[in-house]
Structure 1
Amino acid sequence: MSTASYTVTGMTCQHCVASVTEEVSGIPGVTDVEVDLASGGLTVTSDAPVDDAAVRAAVAEAGYEVAGR
C-alpha cells in the first residue's frame, strides 16, 4: 500500500472536489482518493507507488493544477 499527498490549486466548490476525485480514481492501481477543499489537499492511496505524472495529468483533465507534493 502506498500513499502520496499533493496540493491542488483552483478548486472552489464540492463540484471541483468531485471532478478531481473522479479523474484521479481512474488511475490504474488507485484504491482511495481524498480531497480537502479547504486546504487543497489531495491524498492518493494505491496498491503500488503511483506515477506523479499520471496524478498531474488526471488533475489537469479535471481542470485544475497540482501545485506541489
Structure 2
Amino acid sequence: MAKHTIAVEGMSCDHCKKAVETAVQENKDVVSVVATPAEDIVDVELSNDAALEDVKQRIYDIGYDVK
C-alpha cells in the first residue's frame, strides 16, 4: 500500500470534495481518499500503485485539473 498526494485545481466547496471522493472510490484499488479543496489536494491510499493513473484520470474526467 502506498499513499499519494495529488494536486487538483478547481475544487472549491464540499460538493467538489464529495464529487472527487466518490469518483476516486470507484477504483477497486483505493483504500482511502480525502479531498481537501482549501489546499487543492487529494490524498489517496492505494493497494496497487498501478491504479494511480486511473485515479488521476477519474478526477480529470469529472472536470478538475490534475497537476
Give the TM bin, normalised by the shorter chain: 0.7 to 0.9
Larger helix proportion, structure 1 or 2?
2
Please list every run of 5 or more consecutive structure 2 residues that lacks an aligned counterpart in the other structure: none
Tell me the number of residue pairs that the alignment of Structure 1 and Structure 2 aligns: 67
Corresponding residue number in structure 1 for 2:34: 34
Q: Percent identity?
A: 25
What TM-score does the superposition give when structure 2 sets the normalisation length?
0.87
| Cα distance change of structure 1 residues 2 and 24 upon mapping to structure 2, 3 Å threshold | same
Q: Which segments of structure 1 move beyond 2 Å, counting only runs of 4 or more?
A: 50-53
Structure 1 CA distance, aligned partners of 2:61 and 2:27?
12
Q: Report SS of the residue matched to 2:45.
A: strand
Gaps (5+ residues) in structure 1?
none
